[in-house]
Amino acid sequence: MKTSAGSRNLLTPTVALLAASAIFNLNAATQDRDIVAEKYADTYRTSTKEATQRLAASRDAGRLQRRIATENPETFAGLYIEHSPEFQIVVLFTKDPERHLAKYTQSRLYSAKVAPRSLEMLLAAQEEAGERLSRSGIRFESGIDIRRSEVELRVLDARRTREVLTELLAATDFIRIHETTGFPQPTALIGGTKVSGPRRHCTMGFNVVEHDTRELGIVTAGHCDNNLTYSNSTLQLLYQDESDAGNYDVQWNKQRVIGTPKQQRNEIVVEGSPETIISETASADLAVGMPVCKSGATTGHTCGEVADINAATEDYNGLPASYVRAMNADDLEMNAAGDSGGPVFSGEAGHRSAYGIVHARGAGDRINHLYFMPIERLSILGVTTLTIPFEIEGAPDVSGPSPSIPVDVHFKGYPRFPVELTLEVLSCPVGWTCTGGTKRYTANIPSPMTFTWGCDSSAPDWPKHFKVRTHLKDASGITTDAVETNIACTGPAVGSANQRKAPAAPRAGME
C-alpha cells in the first residue's frame, strides 16, 4: 500500500468539494445543453439532434453485441460502429451474415458482413501470444482489430517477437506485429504545481456506494497517492482500499468528515456543469466505434470513440493487464498527466452512463490514445457507481386501530446518515389536536423509514381521517421533495387502554 501524500487542485474557493471531474456537491445551475452531443456533432459535422440519436443507437448496439456474442460464439466475428461518411453499425459473422443478423434486428442502421474468423478465435490467439511473450520477458501491447479480423501486437523488438512466436505465426496468418517506441503509461503527474503533497496529482472519478455498509465514497486511480487532499482546501479523503495491478487500477476513499459533510450525488462535473449518471455500462456492452468521453483535471472534457475493448499488455505492476482503448477521430489528445482516475462516460442527455475511469495514455504513435479501466471492475473493492438520487418514492395511505399506526416512507438512493424525517399536518378533524415534528434515524438502514402515528381519544365517532406531508433530509443537507399520506384511525383496538380510560381531549400526532 502506498503511503505518500497526494492532492487534487480541482477546486475553486466557492466549491469546497467539487473535483474537476467528479462531484460531491455542485451549486452551479444545470445548463440547457448536451455537451456530449455537441462534441460529437463538431467531430462528425452533424446536428446535435442527429448526434443524440446516434448516441442512443450506439448504446443499443453495445447491448446487442453482448447478446449475439453470448448466443452465437462460433459464428459471431465482432461489431463496430462507423460514423463517417454515413452512420452505420456493422455486424460480422463467419457465415450467412444477413440471415444471422435478421434474427436480432431489422433496423436499417445495421448491416451484415462476412469475416474470416470468429471473435472467439481472435481472443484465443491474442491470449496465446500474450502468454508466450510474457514467458520470454518481451514487453508488448496487444489488441483486436475487429474491422480486419486480426490480432495486433505492438512490441519494441519485432525480430525477437517473431522468433518467440514462430510456431504460433506458422499456425495462424492473422497476427500482425508492429514496432513501437513505448507502451501505455499511467497518467499521474509527478511533482506538478497542482499537488499539495510530494508526489502526484490525479482526478476524482465517480461517487460510489459500498455494497455491504451502504456508505458513500469516491474513486480514483489506484496508482494515485493514498493520502489525498484537495488543493485550496483543508478537506481530506480517508483512504479505504485499492487494487493496483493487472486488470485493476482503482482505489476508493470516504470523506474525512469535520463538521457538515459535503453532498454526494450521482453526478460528475463536465466543463463546470453537472452531468447526472444514471447507469453503468459494462465492457461487454461496449462496441468498437462507440462514442466515449472523459473529464480530467489536466485536459478537461475530451471525446472520441472506442478503438479496442481488449487492449492488453504483458504487465501492469507485475500482472498481465487488459484495458479499453479509445481514440479521437482527428487524433487529438484524449488525456494527459494528471487525468488519472477521471470519469469515462457517454450516452445521450438524461441517460449518461459510467464506462470506467482513466488508467493511462498511449505512447509512440498512440500518444493521444486513452486507456481506461471498465466500470464493472469497481466491484473488486466492493463498491459500485452511485446512479440513483436520494428521493422519496412514496408513503402509502394507511389505516388502523389506535393508539399507534405505523407509516412507511419509502425512499431510493443512499442518504448520508443520520437522516431526519419531518412531518407536517395538513388536515386534522374538528375538535382534535394534531402535531407534527421531526424524527431522527441514526442507523444506516435501507428503505423504508417508519414512523408511528398515534391517535389518542375515547370518542365514539370513528374513523377519523388525517392528512400529513413528509420529507427527508440527510446529514449533508440533501432534502427530498415532500409526499402526502392519508391516515385513518379506525378506533381503539379491542381490549386497548383507550376503551377503558376516562374521556380525554382527542389528539393525534407522530410518536
Q: Half-sphere exposure (CA, 13 Å, Cβ side) for 181?
A: 5
- Name the average pLDDT for the chain: 87
Classify residue 278 as exposed, middle or buried by CB count within 10 Å of its CB (0-12, 13-18, 19+): middle
pLDDT band at 232, cuts 50/70/90? low
DSSP 266: S
Any residues with CB less than 8 A from the CB of 457 and at least 6 apart, and which?
Answer: 402, 432, 464, 498, 504, 505, 506, 507, 508
Kindly report the number of other CB atoms within 10 A of residue 438's CB atom: 11
Does pLDDT of 193 surpass 50? Answer: no
d(CA 406, CA 388): 27
The contacts of residue 318 (CB under 8 Å, 6+ apart) are 245, 246
User: Is pLDDT at 26 greater than 60 in this prediction?
Assistant: no
Query: In the structure grid, which three cell numbers stand for residue 455, read together?
Result: 391517535
Give me the pLDDT at residue 255, please: 84
pLDDT value at 329 more than 70: yes
User: Cα–Cα distance between 53 and 37 in angstroms, integer?
Assistant: 9
Q: Give the DSSP letter string of 233-255.
A: S--BEEEEEEEEETTEEEEEEEE
Q: Is 505 exposed, middle or buried (0-12, 13-18, 19+ CB in 10 A)?
A: exposed
Q: Cell numbers of 330, please? A: 482527428
Closest CA to 368 of 299, 469, 464: 299
pLDDT confidence of residue 204: 87
Cβ atoms of residues 221 and 250 within 8 Å: yes
Q: How far is CA 505 from CA 376, 432, 508, 509, in A?
A: 60, 7, 10, 13
Q: Taken in order 203, 341, 417, 437, is the CA torsion positive or negative?
A: positive
Q: Model-level pTM? A: 0.87
Confidence of residue 199 (pLDDT cuts 50, 70, 90): low
Q: Are 443 and 417 in contact (CB under 8 A)?
A: yes
Q: Tens digit of pLDDT for each residue in 88-104?
A: 999 999 999 999 999 99
Return the half-sphere exposure (C-beta side, CA atoms, 13 A cut-off) of residue 285.
Answer: 19
Interval 387-429: pLDDT, tens: 999 999 999 999 999 889 999 999 999 999 999 999 999 999 9
Res 449 pLDDT > 50: yes
Reading the block at residue 261, the C-alpha cell is 459533510
Q: Which helix (H) or strand (E) holds 469?
A: strand 464-473
Read off the pLDDT of residues 164-176 as tens digits, 9 standing for 90 and up: 999 999 999 999 9
Mean local confidence (pLDDT), 165-192: 82
pLDDT per position as a tens digit, 346-382: 988 888 999 999 999 999 999 999 999 999 999 999 9
Asked if residue 502 has pLDDT above 80, the reply is no
pLDDT value of position 25: 45
Label residue 6 by pLDDT band (50, 70, 90). Answer: very low
Whether residue 462 contacts residue 490, with contact meaning beta carbons closer than 8 Å, is answered with yes
What does the pLDDT look like over 32-79, one tens digit per residue?
578 899 999 999 999 999 999 999 999 999 999 999 999 999 999 999
Please give the average per-residue pLDDT across 156-171, as a whole number.
Answer: 96
Choosing among 3.40.1350, 1.10.10, 2.60.40, 1.10.287, the CATH entry for 391-510 is 2.60.40
Reported confidence tier of residue 467, pLDDT bands at 50, 70, 90? very high
Q: How crowded is residue 59: how many other Cβ atoms within 10 Å of its Cβ?
A: 22
- Residue 273 is predicted with a pLDDT of 81
pLDDT for 20: 38
pLDDT digits (tens, 9 = 90+) for 425-445: 999 999 999 999 999 999 999
User: Strand, helix or coil at 397?
Assistant: coil
Q: Taking 50 as the threshold, does the pLDDT of residue 18 lie above it?
A: no
Among 425, 449, 450, which Cα is nearest to 437's? 425
Q: Is pLDDT above 60 for 220?
A: yes
C-beta separation of 414 from 214 below 8 A? yes
Q: 162 near 178, Cβ under 8 Å?
A: no
State the Cα–Cα distance between residues 295 and 335, nearest whole angstrom.
9
Of 183, 185, 140, nearest in space to 160 by CA: 140
Please state, in angstroms and rounded to a whole number, the distance separating the CA atoms of residues 331 and 303. 11
**H-helix or E-strand spanning residue 308:** strand 300-316
Residue 402 is predicted with a pLDDT of 82
Residue 156 neighbours by CB under 8 Å, 6+ apart: 139, 179, 180, 181
Tens of pLDDT, residues 247-276:
999 999 898 877 788 888 999 888 878 889
The pLDDT of residue 131: 94
Residue 206 has pLDDT above 60, yes or no: yes
pLDDT at residue 503 in the model: 54
Nearest of 66, 70, 67, 43 to residue 54 by alpha carbon? 43
* pLDDT at residue number 257: 76
Query: Per-residue pLDDT for 460 more than 80?
Result: no
User: Is the pLDDT higher at 297 or at 453?
Assistant: 453
Give dist(CA 60, CA 58) in Å, integer. Answer: 5
